[in-house]
Amino acid sequence: MSPATRVMEAVDETQAVKRPAFEVIYDWVTTVDHKKIGIMYIVYALIFLVIGGVEAILMRIQLAVPNNHFVSPQVFNQLFTMHGTTMIFFMAMPILFGFGNYLVPLMIGARDMAFPRLNAFSFWVSAFGGFLLYFSYLGGSGLYAAGSAPDVGWFAYAPLTAKVFSPGHSTDYWTLAVLLSGIGSIGTALNTVTTILCMRCRGMKLTKMPLLPWLYLVMSGMVFIAVSPLTAAQIMLMLDRYVGSHFFDTQAGGSAVLWMHYFWIFGHPEVYILILPTFAFMNEIIPVFSRKAIFGYPAMVAASVGIGFISLGVWAHHMFAVGMGPAGNTFFVFATMVISVPTGIKIFNWLATIWGGKVIFSLPMMFAIGFLFQFLIAGLTGIMLSAAPFDWQLTGSYFVVAHFHYVIVGGIIFSLFAAFYYWYPKATGRMLNTTLGKWHFWLFLIGFHLTFDFMHIPGILGMPRRIYTYEASRGWGTWNFIIGVGAIFQAIAVIIFAYNLVRSYFKGDIAGHDPWDAWTLEWATPSPPPVYNFAHDPTVNSRRPLWDLKHPEEPDSDFE
């Protein structure tokens, strides 16, 4: 059964007439098109990436030398709270949802998401949450007392958040912002699941679906089970603060450990909610630039589902130091270690895909390889931390900070950059500049390793997290200076990247509809794709429909 093809003509509307700015803005604000919403998510997340990055640089400047008084202890507390909250809820989550919004309907051959208006609603709710968080700088205790931003840490442990310890409204801003981001995430996840289950084009059985929608399916399922508890916990915290209930009020018999459980029931799966989409990018990028079909498709799906399930049951490895008793500790140690099995399967499958392939070292592929290395190292320090006695020594030290930044920056951010270089041509019709891209890659890679490799050392030497300065006699000074230099390198790299994004939009090489000679459906549309994506609903017979088109003599559909 060879699929017939038809050439689609699409007039590029943007060239037609120049419209007044107001109309353009109105169009974006009221849009329900999944591609525009996806791009808005990404732009808004990039803005918060810059804000969170500035906060990180400020903290690193403060810590670069001993006995520094660049910022006050209060400001330092606010910085790490805002940095963590911003990066997790208003950078990482929205940017991944943005990519999902953009790519999922295109890759499954649908014309839009299942509920376009809910999609716009979810976006605006979570964007509003982000603005609200930063409004706290103005509104906390009035415009003139500027700087009453939240300072309770991104985990907001009880009873620090109780009215007595956290007077004023800074914590209220935090809890409302997180609540709104949670509602937005649940809405988008619901939309994603429904889109994938109900809108696939003819012939795309679940077994023939590309891996990216598969992983977004698992990830969205996890959002229901992990983000909802956080939402519930935020409601309880708000009740405590506004109407005087006692959920986390230790004075009235309430429990602070209960909050920890609720937070980490969300917090741990959250890291897998973030990592699954980045796995999804890898699953698309690595095969295309190895010129080979992904190795072990069924195993990849099974491993993702496995990761989803196991990660829901290991949250308390963040609480070894609380004292859960030997039974609790043992359970969570082993449950945590089990996760490395499906994760290992994934890494082996990627290596097997590269192995023997004709590897093309394009920019997306370079970032992908950086991802593989760094994710592996992060997994190894993760296994170390999952041993309770080891964790007792190092929890609350910079070792843990180094570990999770290895995952988040070395894994998630690297794969996001790979995804930008890979899909930017599709979204804008222009290629990103390769020279600037290489500068970005090398500076960021070097900066990353300077910062986070060396951060393990002061951790082992006993430097605690969340201190605003330290004595010179401790011997942590040199290490912190190197860490700071690395942070500056990364900042410069991100500036180059941002410049590249803007410049290439106007001056980049024209991409054409399929610059990478790829295989999935999004590359069958013009770049950028028109409203409603496909003029004719596509039909697929295999996981690589465009391969079948380009190679009618040996289509995948004969083998699967």
Partner 1 sequence: MTTASTIPISTESEAPWQLPYRGTVGMVCLIIAEAAIFAIFFVSYIFYIGKSLSGPTPREVLELPIFGTICLLSSSITVHWAVAALRKDNIRSCALGLASTVLLGGIFMVSTAEEWYHLIYEKGLTIRTNLFGTTYYSLVGLHATHVIVGLILLSIALFTALTGRIKEEHSEKLEVVSLYWHFVDAIWVGVFLVVYVIGR
Binding site for ligand HEM (CB under 6 A): 271-272, 274-275, 317-318, 336, 339-340, 379, 382-383, 385-386, 391, 395, 400, 403-404, 407-408
The CA distance from 148 to 554, in Å, is 64
Residue 100 or 410 having the CB closest to ligand HEM? 410
Tokens 């990216």 belong to 212
Phi and psi at residue 482, to the nearest 5°:
-60, -45
Q: Out of ligand HEM, partner 1, Cu ion, none, which partner does residue 5 contact, by CB within 5 to 8 A per kind?
A: partner 1
- Least CB distance from residue 419 to ligand HEM, whole Å? 17
Q: Is 236 in the site for partner 1 (CB under 8 A)?
A: yes
Cβ contact 73:492 at 8 Å: no
Instruction: With CB under 8 A as the rule, give the number of residues binding partner 1.
Output: 73
d(C-alpha 338, C-alpha 306), whole Å: 10
Residue 246 touches which of Cu ion, ligand HEM, partner 1, none (Cβ within 5-8 Å per kind): partner 1
Selected binder of partner 1 within 40, 388, 419, 524 (CB under 8 A):
524
Q: On the CB side of 114, how many CA atoms lie within 13 Å of its CA?
A: 16
Minimum separation from the CB atom of position 307 to ligand HEM (A): 9
Distance of CA 527 to the CA centre of its chain: 25
- In the list 139, 141, 157, 245, the residue contacting partner 1 (rule: CB under 8 A) is 245
Q: Does residue 558 touch partner 1 according to CB under 8 A?
A: no
Q: Which of 58, 225, 352, 383 binds partner 1 (CB under 8 A)?
A: 225
Instruction: Give the count of beta carbons closer than 10 Å to the beta carbon of residue 505.
Output: 14
**Comparison of 187 and 342: residue with beta carbon closer to partner 1:** 187
Count the neighbouring beta carbons within 10 Å of the beta carbon of residue 334: 11
Q: Is 143 in the site for partner 1 (CB under 8 A)?
A: no
| N- to C-terminal Cα separation, the chain | 14
Query: Among residues 200, 192, 179, 197, which one has the least CA distance to residue 219?
Result: 192
Question: What is the distance between the alpha carbons of residues 521 and 36, in angstroms, rounded to a whole number?
Answer: 19
Radius of gyration of the chain (CA): 24
String of contacts with partner 1 for each residue 423-442, x by CB under 8 A: ------x-------------
Q: Which is nearer to partner 1, 4 or 143 (CB)?
A: 4
Q: Which of 11, 21, 164, 327: binder of partner 1 (CB under 8 A)?
A: 11
Confirm or reject binding of residue 515 to partner 1 (CB under 8 A).
Answer: no
Q: What is the DSSP letter of 86?
A: I
Q: Is 102 exposed, middle or buried (0-12, 13-18, 19+ CB in 10 A)?
A: buried
Q: Does 164 bind partner 1 (CB under 8 A)?
A: no
> Per the structure block, which two tokens stand in for 324?
């859960």
Q: Is the peptide bond before 94 cis (omega within 30 degrees of 0)?
A: no
Instruction: Single out the residue of 21, 23, 253, 358 in contact with partner 1 (rule: CB under 8 A).
Output: 253
Is residue 141 within the footprint of partner 1 (CB under 8 A)? no
Footprint of Cu ion on residues 241-270 (CB under 5 A)? 268
- Window contacting partner 1 (CB under 8 A); options: 3-11, 47-55, 119-127, 173-181: 3-11
- Considering the rule CB under 8 A, would residue 10 count as an interface residue with partner 1? yes
Q: Where are the beta strands (DSSP E) in 496-556?
A: none
Residue closer to partner 1, measured from CB, 15 or 67: 15
- Contacts by 551-556, CB closer than 8 A, 24 or more apart: 552/2, 555/2, 556/293
Q: Which residue is nearest to Cu ion (CB)?
A: 268
What, of Cu ion, ligand HEM, partner 1, none, does residue 379 touch, CB below 5 to 8 Å by kind? ligand HEM
Judged by CB under 8 A, the stretch of 73-81, 122-130, 251-259, 360-368 that binds partner 1 is 251-259
Of the pair 288, 310, the CB lying nearest ligand HEM is at 310
Min dist CB 480 to ligand HEM, Å, is 19
Residues 43-82 that bind Cu ion (CB under 5 A): none
* Contact between 514 and partner 1 per CB under 8 A: yes
Give 247 or 481: the residue with its C-beta nearer to partner 1: 247
What is the C-alpha separation between 538 and 202, in angstroms, rounded?
7
What, of partner 1, Cu ion, ligand HEM, none, does residue 336 touch, CB below 5 to 8 Å by kind? ligand HEM
Are 308 and 277 spatial neighbours (Cβ–Cβ below 8 Å)?
no
DSSP H helices in 19-72 = 21-30, 34-64
Residue 2, classified by CB atoms within 10 Å of its CB into exposed (0-12), middle (13-18) or buried (19+), is exposed
Q: How far is the CB of 22 from partner 1 (least distance, A)?
A: 25
Encoded tokens for 211: 């891996």
Stretch that binds partner 1, among 74-82, 230-238, 271-279, 330-338 (CB under 8 A): 230-238
Q: How far is CA 167 from CA 21, 140, 242, 258, 291, in A?
A: 44, 10, 12, 22, 59
Binding of partner 1 at residue 224 (CB under 8 A)?
A: yes
Q: Does 3 bind partner 1 (CB under 8 A)?
A: yes
Q: Which residues are at the interface with Cu ion (CB under 5 A)?
A: 268
